[in-house]
Homo-oligomer: A and B are copies of this chain.
Amino acid sequence: MNVVAALHGTHDVRLETRELPSLGEREVLVKVLTVGVCGSDVHYYEHGRIGSFVVERPLVLGHEVCGVVVDRGSRAAKHAIGQRVAVEPGVPCGQCAECRSGRYNLCSDVRFFATPPIDGAFARYVAAHEDFAFALPGTLSDDAGALLEPLSVAIWACWKGGVRLGDRVLVTGAGPIGNLAAQTALAAGATTVAVADVNVERLQRAAEIGSTQTIDLNCSGVEGQFDVLLECTGSESLTRDAILTLRPAGAAVLVGMGPGLEARIPLAAMQAHEITLTGTFRYANTFAVAIALAAAGRVELDRMVDARFPLEQVDRALAATRENPALLKVIVDVAEEEQPERSDRRGPD
């Protein structure tokens, strides 16, 4: 039997017993080890919806998943039983125009964990398509395996912004995505990476991972000149100010989602300087790259983890960042009860 933590309504998470997921022929059954808490999980927990996605029946949250393969469908031969894997949480159709064009993140038939009505991974077990499960090298921790998903968001942002050798990059927002965006920009060769936020503790964390400059928005606005903006707050006014720091032909990448459907942008300046603005949505083809970066030590994932809770305390995990906004990353440690030595475990594979 499976055990899941299902969201029944705002602030209402219940532990439930369910059947084990049945496996498609190329799916594997993954025993969950750790799951990262994403801002979107928290938003569903607090509001019961994100935009047009509404929780109308109990929904299992969680889409940043590390686990171990414990069973395989009839034609799933890619991973051995016992293989530790990170799970890419969205499986696209593979045949539509978007999928065929290499931008499967825009597939309208994608099945994505923890997006109504698809259940996520705050559970003992999940099913995953074997092609969307990625074998983890033994040097990566379970937590790192889970955090490959937000790292994917950061890689995608850097790709969209075309971050390259010697670039000056401005990252607005020092939360988990901003932190990873800064790390990834550095890994891509950016030599100036400025991180802006109002939270001084988070700025301190940004400095620790190698950002070359921090901007305390309590004291000053964003200044300087940058090649690329990676916007990770969703703040309309900050986005506007940040766009104005871009050099001619610079690129603004919008990762953070704001509250409204529309926003004001400094269009006249964007025309005079031919600034490009790109919206981003999830990611495509990033997981193998994320593993390579983490395994090579180019990004550090473990140090982002600030708190961990067992599956039985998913509600506490979901409430943690509200109580302490300085927390970067909260982990739901699904394996904890059974294997209490988990926290420092490294995989043997």
The residue that A279 contacts in the complex, of B94, B97, B272, B298, with Cβ under 8 A, is B272
> Could you tell me if A165 and B191 are in contact, using CB atoms closer than 8 angstroms?
no
Residue numbers in B under 8 Å from A285 (CB-CB): 97, 100-101
Please encode chain A, from 270 to 286, with 1 for each CB lying within 8 Å of some chain B CB and 0 for all others.
Answer: 11111111111100110
Residues of B within 8 A of A290 (CB): 166
Judging by beta carbons under 8 Å apart, are B262 and A262 in contact?
Answer: no
Residues from 185 to 201 in A contacting B, C-beta threshold 8 Å: 187-189, 191-192
The answer for the CA separation of A98 and B248 in the assembled complex, in Å, is: 8
Asked if A164 is at the interface (CB within 8 A of a chain B CB), the reply is yes
Interface size class of A (residues with CB under 8 A): 35 or more
Decide: B293 and A271 in contact? CB cutoff 8 A.
no
Quick check: is A296 within 8 A (CB to CB) of the other chain?
yes
A258 cross-chain contacts in B, Cβ below 8 A: 267-268
Taking a contact as CB atoms closer than 8 A, the residue among B101, B261, B263, B271 that contacts A257 in the complex is B271
Return A211 CB to nearest CB of chain B, in Å: 12
One digit per residue, 1 when the CB lies within 8 angstroms of any chain B CB and 0 when it does not, for chain A 82-105 equals 000000000000111111111111
A188 — which chain B residues lie within 8 A by C-beta? 164-165, 188-189
**Is A340's beta carbon under 8 Å from chain B?**
no
Residues in B neighbouring A97, C-beta threshold 8 A: 285, 288
Most chain-B CB neighbours within 10 Å: which of A97, A164, A254, A284? A164
**A266 interfacial by beta-carbon distance below 8 Å:** yes
Within 8 A of B (CB), among A260-318: 260-281, 284-285, 288-290, 292-293, 295-296, 298
Task: Collect the chain B residues with CB atoms within 8 Å of residue A272's CB.
Answer: 279, 281
- In the bound complex, residues from chain B placing their C-beta under 8 Å from that of A165 are 155, 158-159, 184, 187-188, 289, 292-293
Chain A residues within 8 Å of B, Cβ to Cβ: 51, 94-106, 129, 131, 155, 158-160, 164-166, 184, 187-189, 191-192, 212, 240, 248-249, 254, 257-258, 260-281, 284-285, 288-290, 292-293, 295-296, 298
